[in-house]
Each structure stands twice: as structure tokens, then as C-alpha cells.
């Protein structure tokens, strides 16, 4: 608790070095104890300290009571919550990970009071009102400028609505011994903040390698007015190393596709024999970009599913998959955003956002494959048979990871098409379904962040990711 309080106070001084006063708002548990440490440290250096305690300070127990007494010995005075928080910086030490359901009074009032202040706000462990398990915000939550979080990263800080409340996240392991962390190795929650920590290295290519060995991706999609979607997916699959990429689409799109990327092969979707021959030759299918919801698209979708080939399913392909009650005959990766996930799970978007972790599990189980739930804090989950070959049962699905990459600039048309192309291109090169999904999500988000650093978020386009992606593969993955 001393380490947590010191880490929070250090973060406070780093962010607001000129602050001369602080208001600390404490609840009833250990999170309050961290707040008392911050108050005592602030008092030690001569800052003006207001400490507001919800409930009886004498009811604190254990380490929190010890922290309270330590703060009192350093000149901190305890008062009840008032209608005014006077500090230039407000410390939210109300609940931490102790949230259960909607906020009750007086916590809801304290949250409103904190959010109504003009000063900076720093939350201890997680903003009050945000679920640490899934990022849900049932009613309201503290809008922090900085959140210090300890020992383990809380899921709610990295996915779902909670991301909008956290501000800058500062993680501290509090010098917990390495053997403690080793005890939870193999825990189903993994994070992959950089390609280096993910650690995947492509093997050196044999001098005698030829394109067929590197995989043949066939992208299916592009109904009227949507020719750009399959083009972006196909070009991306080439850029991540697939040996051959073909597109089955409307004939009207062929000139534009070949003008943009002549390395692609394009087959008229209305050429029944030609498309079936191409589907038979495919190593991996990417189905859905610009597919539409007409009979034209659903016919292509059914034919693709019936091949039993490994498949990445996105966009309107997901809608048709549900509408036609299809079942995959081969390895499957789906890449829905929240609205598409809601259709698959037969719920509303709000329900998906309230429990993105539960949603991605439900998606993986629903389709019997690997699910990528796109959005801030993209999540990846897979069926147990894919995740743990030879296992003797257990949970039906397993959470593989949460991607810490990505930025709001990626909320633009075509980003999902690029992601499906990334995953399809990696899958074609003999990566496992799980590795292709996790690696693809990580590479996509990393490239998005790299491109945004260079260009800014406002004008970021989906195809701007391609140069960054190629460079990331070169630097981080040995190719």
C-alpha cells in the first residue's frame, strides 16, 4: 500500500508539478488506504490537503487503518464529503476494483462532485464507476486525467467504455517478486503491447521458394459501388507476404483493381466456372469485404463456406453467415465490430459494450472458431479445440489476448478490410489460426499507431497502414 500510494503521488507530481493543494476522496476499503498515503505524502512536502472520507474513517481495517493512522500522524485532517473539493488536483480513492453493479450513494454523489471540479483528477487503480473486469460503465464514472494501476493491468482500463474515462494509464508492478508473476503464467489473459514482446519471427525464406508455397489467398466481395473493400483486403494480404492473391468480384471493378495493384488476379464473380475453379485452388479465403446482402453476395458466401477452406469472415459475410444459419466446415476466424457482434449474439450493441470479454467468448462459441472483437482494446478468443489441441475438456472457449495498440484515427472506412487481409495473408503462410489472429490484430494496430505518429489521426486512411506494416514486419519479425 505504501508503494501504491508513493507511485500515485509521484505520478501526481509529474503531471501537475506546480500544484500546491490536493483533495483526496476516500471510500471504505484498501483503495482508501492508498489515498491516505497520498494525503500524508502531500502533507509532508507542505501541500494543502483536504481529505474527504465517505462513511466512518474508524471503520477502516487492516492496512487501510494503518495507512489512515500514518496520514493522521503526518498532519492530515479527516472531514466528511462536502459540496466543494478545494484541491488543484483531486485524488479518486473511492472504490478501485471494488465496484459491484451500479454506483450507490454516497459514491454516486462523490463521482458527480469530482467530475464537476475544474482541477486535474488522478484515479487510484481504476476510475470509480468503471468495472475492472470488462470496462463497463453502468451509470457514471470518474473522468480521470491519469490512472495509476498496480501489479496486474485491469481489463477495464483497456477495453470497452472504461477507456474513455481512464486518461493516461501509468502501470506499476510495485516490485512484486518475479515468482509471483510466474505463478500466473498461462493465465488466459495475455497482452501484446509490441511486436517484439509478441515475439513471432518469420523463418528465413529458402532461396528456392516459389509463390505457391507462400500461400494463395482468394478475397471474395465487392458488390456494386463497393469495389474498394476487396481491393484493400487483397493488397494487404500481398503486403504481409502471401505468395498469390486473387479477387472474386464484380467485373466492373477489374479495371480499377488492376490499375491500382496489377499483381492481383481478378475473376468475374458471374463466371460460375471461373470462380469455382479459383475457390478450389485457394489456400485461404477472405470473405465479406464489400460483399453486400443481395442474392449475389449470399450465393458467393455459401459457395465459399462449402469449400471447407480456412476462412476469414468479415463485414456482410458475417451477416449472411447468421441469416443463412451457416456452419463452417473448416478453420474459421471472424472479425466483427460491436454492431456485427450484436447480430451474431442476438443482443444489442450496448450489451456487447457492457461486457466485451463475455461477448468475444460468446462469438467464438457461436461460430465454433476464433473471434476477433474489434474496437478499442480488440479482443481475441478461440474455441478450446483450436487453443489447446489434445485437451480433455474444460471451458468451451479461451481468451487469447487484448491488443494494447490502436487509436481513434483508425475509426475510418476500410480499416476492417485491411485487418481481414492481414489475417488472411498470415494464415496463408502456414501460421496457425490462433497465431494468425493474434499476430494480425497486433500488426494491424501497431501499424495504425505508427502511421498516426507520422500523419496524425485526423486524416488517417486505411491504406496508410500498409507502408508501416511492411516496415514493422522487417524490423520486428525478421522479414
Give pTM, 2 decimals: 0.90
- Express each pLDDT in 428-459 by its tens digit: 999 999 999 999 999 999 999 999 999 999 99
Which of 76, 69, 15, 68 is CA-nearest to residue 45?
A: 76
Give the span between the Cα atoms of 32 and 1, in whole angstroms: 10
Could you tell me which CATH class the domain 195-476 is placed in? Answer: alpha beta
Count the residues in the chain. Answer: 479
pLDDT, residue 204, reads 80
Average of per-residue pLDDT values in the chain:
92
Q: Where are the alpha helices (DSSP H) in 263-337?
A: 272-281, 295-306, 316-323
pLDDT over 70 (residue 194): no
pLDDT over 90 (residue 393): no
pLDDT over 60 (residue 144): yes
pLDDT, residue 188, reads 47
Q: What average pLDDT does this structure show over 376-382?
A: 93
Give the span between the Cα atoms of 122 and 142, in whole angstroms: 9
Q: Domain boundaries in the chain?
A: 2-182, 195-476
pLDDT over 70 (residue 126): yes
User: Which CA distances in Å does 436 have to 219, 280, 423, 432, 443?
Assistant: 16, 22, 5, 6, 10
State the pairing for strand pair 379-383/397-402: antiparallel
pLDDT, residue 408, reads 96
pLDDT, residue 423, reads 98
User: Looking at domain 2-182, does it have CATH number 3.40.50.11540?
Assistant: no
User: Do 2-182 and 195-476 come out as alike in CATH topology?
Assistant: no
Amino acid at each position: 500500500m505504501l508503494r501504491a500510494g508513493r507511485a500515485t503521488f509521484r505520478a501526481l507530481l509529474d503531471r501537475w508539478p506546480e500544484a500546491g493543494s490536493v483533495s483526496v476522496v476516500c471510500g471504505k476499503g484498501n483503495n482508501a488506504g492508498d489515498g491516505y498515503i497520498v494525503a500524508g505524502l502531500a502533507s509532508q512536502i507542505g501541500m494543502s490537503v483536504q481529505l474527504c472520507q465517505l462513511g466512518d474513517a474508524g471503520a477502516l481495517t487492516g492496512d487501510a487503518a494503518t495507512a489512515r493512522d500514518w496520514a493522521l500522524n503526518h498532519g492530515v485532517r479527516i472531514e466528511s464529503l462536502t459540496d466543494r473539493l478545494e484541491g488543484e488536483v483531486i485524488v479518486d480513492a473511492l472504490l478501485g476494483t471494488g465496484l459491484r453493479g451500479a454506483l450507490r450513494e454516497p459514491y454516486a454523489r462523490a463521482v458527480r462532485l469530482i467530475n464537476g471540479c475544474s482541477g486535474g483528477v488522478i484515479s487510484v487503480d481504476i476510475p470509480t464507476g468503471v468495472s475492472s473486469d470488462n470496462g463497463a460503465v453502468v451509470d457514471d464514472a470518474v473522468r480521470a486525467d491519469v490512472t495509476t494501476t498496480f501489479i496486474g493491468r485491469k481489463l477495464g482500463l483497456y477495453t470497452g467504455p472504461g477507456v474513455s474515462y481512464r486518461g493516461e494509464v501509468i502501470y506499476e508492478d510495485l516490485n512484486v517478486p518475479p515468482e509471483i508473476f510466474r505463478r500466473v503464467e498461462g493465465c488466459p489473459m495475455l497482452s501484446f503491447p509490441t511486436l517484439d514482446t509478441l515475439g513471432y519471427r518469420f523463418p528465413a525464406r529458402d532461396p528456392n521458394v516459389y509463390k505457391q508455397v507462400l500461400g494463395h489467398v482468394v478475397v471474395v466481395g465487392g458488390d456494386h459501388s463497393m469495389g474498394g473493400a476487396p481491393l484493400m483486403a487483397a493488397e494487404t494480404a500481398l503486403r504481409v507476404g502471401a505468395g498469390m492473391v486473387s479477387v472474386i468480384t464484380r467485373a466492373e471493378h477489374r479495371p480499377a483493381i488492376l490499375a491500382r495493384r496489377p499483381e492481383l488476379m481478378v475473376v468475374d464473380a458471374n463466371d460460375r466456372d471461373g470462380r469455382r475453379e479459383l475457390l478450389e485452388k485457394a489456400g485461404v479465403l477472405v470473405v465479406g469485404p464489400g460483399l453486400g446482402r443481395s442474392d449475389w453476395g449470399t450465393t458467393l458466401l455459401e459457395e465459399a463456406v462449402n469449400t471447407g477452406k480456412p476462412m476469414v469472415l468479415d463485414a456482410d459475410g458475417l451477416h449472411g453467415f447468421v441469416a443463412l444459419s451457416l456452419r463452417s466446415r473448416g478453420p474459421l476466424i471472424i472479425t466483427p465490430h460491436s454492431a456485427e457482434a450484436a447480430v451474431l449474439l442476438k443482443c444489442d450493441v450496448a450489451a456487447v459494450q457492457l461486457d466485451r470479454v463475455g461477448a468475444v467468448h460468446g462469438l467464438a462459441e457461436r461460430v465454433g472458431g476464433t473471434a476477433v472483437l474489434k474496437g478499442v482494446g480488440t479482443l481475441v478468443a478461440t474455441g478450446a479445440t483450436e487453443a489447446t489441441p489434445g485437451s480433455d475438456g474444460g471451458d468451451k472457449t479461451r481468451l487469447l489476448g487484448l491488443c494494447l495498440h490502436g487509436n481513434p484515427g483508425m475509426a475510418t472506412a476500410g480499416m476492417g478490410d485491411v485487418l481481414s487481409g492481414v489475417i488472411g495473408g498470415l494464415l496463408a503462410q502456414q501460421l496457425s489460426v490462433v497465431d494468425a489472429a493474434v499476430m494480425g490484430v497486433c500488426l494491424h494496430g501497431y501499424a495504425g499507431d505508427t502511421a498516426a505518429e507520422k500523419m496524425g489521426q485526423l486524416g488517417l486512411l486505411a491504406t496508410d497502414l500498409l507502408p508501416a506494416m511492411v516496415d514493422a514486419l522487417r524490423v520486428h519479425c525478421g522479414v
